[in-house]
Amino acid sequence: SGAILREEIKKELIVGGGLKSSVKTRWSTAWDCCSSVLRLETVFKNMLIDNSKAMNQSLRILVNNRNFWSNVEALANILEPAKNAVKSVECKNTTMADVFFALIQMAISIKALPTETSEELKEFRQKCIQFYNYRWKQFDFELYLLAYFLHPKYRGKGLIPETYQIIQRKALTLWQKIGGGSNSALALAIQMNDYDNYKSPYNFPYVDELQTSSSWWLGCKQSNHYLQELALYILSIVPHSASCERVFSILNWFTQKRRSRLKVEKVSNMARLHSFYISNAQQELNYAGKNLSEDAFNQIMQDYAKSLTLDSDMFEINNDNDDDDPFENLIPEEEEENNDQLNEDDSNLLVGNLIKLNNVNREDIELEEVDHGDLEFSVDDILANVNRLNSKI
């Protein structure tokens, strides 16, 4: 049967290969398995038409059962957003807003499950809803709602109007916990209204290919920008432990049975080196990404071995022009004669007309003092003041 299946796949020009196996601990493999079964539906049916004995009795019943294919399709539709969620959540720049968006996509897939096809699908949908609600209660969904609202890519799209009050209350509660007062909380609430209504300085688009959420917020320039401070604080939270798990996998690879005598300090240093070179391969390894011939690669390895033996640098830097003055030709010869004659404009840097140059060192820069107001304030009073101000506009 396996040989016949492979021949049918080639004959039908099926893209994606044959059947995929599933691993319990990997969501992506579960979707791959269901997707491969659906992809080969036509192949299985053609096999039965050509040879009814190509499969056993159980497989023949399943292939000819339309409910089976509906169930597999429904399962694949549920697993696909789960697979995408796991894949996206473990990215380096993932924020809590991305996690919330992934949860919403999973909820949409569950809601779209058909209920009129069969009792099995109806029961399956109810089980999915029950499990989803159970997990949803484990989230601090108000914080995820706030992150979803503050992410410039989403800006709370799709949320009902009543949800905005929950988001604003959560923002003010967090602001109070991190040291904000009544004055700054009122300004924060007003800035949230401006952000929600796309008013300046929040009226420019977010380009996903060129920006991150942090770079977008840093581009919003405004004095006493409390909303920017809160947004950068929340969107900087890493909502996963993927990087830690990768380090654990590396450590497990290092400390095998044949390497049981390695000290903790040495294993730690090895893991740091591994992470550094993986992240900076293009800069640290000169031959990374290049199509080297075998002779060129051997030469690099010989130079590397020689550098270790002689304790010398592997890549030599050309210092033939060290004796040349790098500032020799900065000033044209015709202007060099007048270099000693200063006029009134030469006593100040022209850039000083645009930027304050009084603070030379970063240590000398004094942070502007902000009057946050009373640190013990009522969130309800702040919201009432905001609504009163909005009613006057």
List pLDDT tens digits, range 344-374. Answer: 444 444 333 333 434 434 344 344 566 777 7
> Is the model's pLDDT at 76 over the cut of 60?
yes
Higher per-residue pLDDT: 172 or 306: 172
- Which of 179, 181, 155, 182 minimizes the C-alpha distance to 167? 155
Cα three-residue angle 44-45-50, rounded to 5 degrees:
100
User: What are the residues whose beta carbons fall under 8 Å from the beta carbon of 253, sequence distance 6 or more?
Assistant: none
State pLDDT tens for residues 84-110.
888 777 777 788 888 888 888 888 888
pLDDT of residue 216: 94
Distance CA 148, CA 237 (A): 13
pLDDT range class, residue 74, cuts 50, 70, 90: confident
Q: Is 284 left (phi over 0), alpha (psi -120 to 50) or beta?
A: alpha
In the chain, what are the domain boundaries? 1-64, 143-239+361-392, 242-309
Give residue-wise pLDDT tens across range 246-298: 788 888 877 776 667 778 888 888 888 887 777 776 665 555 545 656 666 66
pLDDT for 342 equals 45
d(CA 168, CA 164): 6
pLDDT at 193: 93
CB 114 within 8 A of CB 74: yes
The crossing angle, in degrees rounded to 10, of helices 141-150 and 226-235 is 120
Q: Which of 7-11, 44-48, 115-119, 344-348 has the lowest mean pLDDT?
A: 344-348
Phi and psi torsions of 222, nearest 5°: -165, 140
* Model confidence at 190: pLDDT above 90: yes
CA distance 21 to 9: 17
Is residue 154 within 8 A of residue 357, CB to CB? The reply is: no
